[in-house]
Amino acid sequence: MAIPNTENAIGKIKGRVMHQRIQETLTRIEAEHEVRILYACESGSRGWGFASADSDWDVRFIYCHPRDWYLSVEEGRDVIELPIDDDLLDANGWDLRKSLRLMKKSNPVLLEWLASPIVYREDAEAMAAYRLLAQDFYQPATCLHHYLHMAKGNFREYLQGEMVWMKKYFYVLRPVLACLWIERGQGVVPMAFDDLVAGVVKDGELKNSIVKLAELKKSGAEMDNGLRIPVIHSFLEREIARLDAVVADVSRTPVQTELQEKMSRYFRDALG
């Protein structure tokens, strides 16, 4: 008779409990703040697909107030932030108008939320139109600058010397792979790390090293200091230098007036 994997079973039970807790939290937010949540998803390592057993839940959401809330001389607070609960649940969200203003700038964080493989709540009609709008405002140049800046900062901070902070490889790998995805014209960057690797990494040795590192992270093994991984390190160093020259030559496309009017119409329609 097969012996059940106790660790996996506990993980599944914990996941179901947390999912219910997240739903209750979202419902409580709606009641306490008098808002309607249009979309809620998972961000961070769970959304990326390599959470470990002790990873927290990073819930991000987009919400709207009743129409009259926006008809005020003074603008109200446009974020809802909850204190991190028991070091497990980190939930915060953006008001719809704030998110649309960020969409106009092709904000990569917002685009990642929309690409999350884990969705907790969604107004299907409102978000279908929202996603189409996000495609209209997508600016590859903005996203390239964002991801390269992130990669350079994390590489400089965590991956210098022979001994490095191993889990920080992901905080450089993911933005570098995102840059390659955009550079190759593959559209909006997927949140799932495995999709990024499959979509842009063709070198077999490099791919194997990345996959092994990801499996180590998923297993919950300690990933503190360790000897740097030559094949990954060389790849990152080379691509960051190359992308620095590439990004210097790309620029944003001016936003057309009709697109801004389209966004305003969407905002009014979403409020009902």
Give the number of domains in the chain: 2
Question: What pLDDT does 6 receive?
Answer: 47
Please check whether residues 130 and 153 belong to one and the same domain.
Answer: no
Confidence of residue 16 (pLDDT cuts 50, 70, 90): confident
Q: Confirm whether 1 is domain-assigned.
A: no
Please check whether residues 20 and 130 belong to one and the same domain.
Answer: yes
pLDDT tens for 188-218 read: 999 999 999 999 999 999 999 999 999 988 8
Domain interval for residue 19: 6-137
Please check whether residues 173 and 202 belong to one and the same domain.
Answer: yes
Q: Confirm whether 265 is domain-assigned.
A: no
CATH number for the domain spanning 110: value is 3.30.460.10
What percent of the chain is predicted at pLDDT more than 90?
Answer: 77
Question: What pLDDT does 202 receive?
Answer: 95
Give the least confident one: 4-13, 14-23, 59-68, 262-271.
Answer: 4-13
What percent of the chain is predicted at pLDDT more than 70?
Answer: 94
Question: What pLDDT does 255 receive?
Answer: 80
pLDDT tens for 226-262 read: 899 999 999 999 999 999 999 988 888 888 889 999 9
The per-residue pLDDT of the chain, averaged, comes to: 91
pLDDT tens for 94-129 read: 999 999 999 999 999 999 999 999 999 999 999 999
Of the three residues 104, 137, 170, the one that is the final residue of a domain is: 137
Please check whether residues 118 and 195 belong to one and the same domain.
Answer: no
Answer whether residue 8 shows pLDDT above 70: no
CA distances from 10 to 4, 15, 17, 89, 105 (A): 11, 8, 11, 18, 42
Q: Confirm whether 150 is domain-assigned.
A: yes
Answer whether residue 15 shows pLDDT above 70: yes
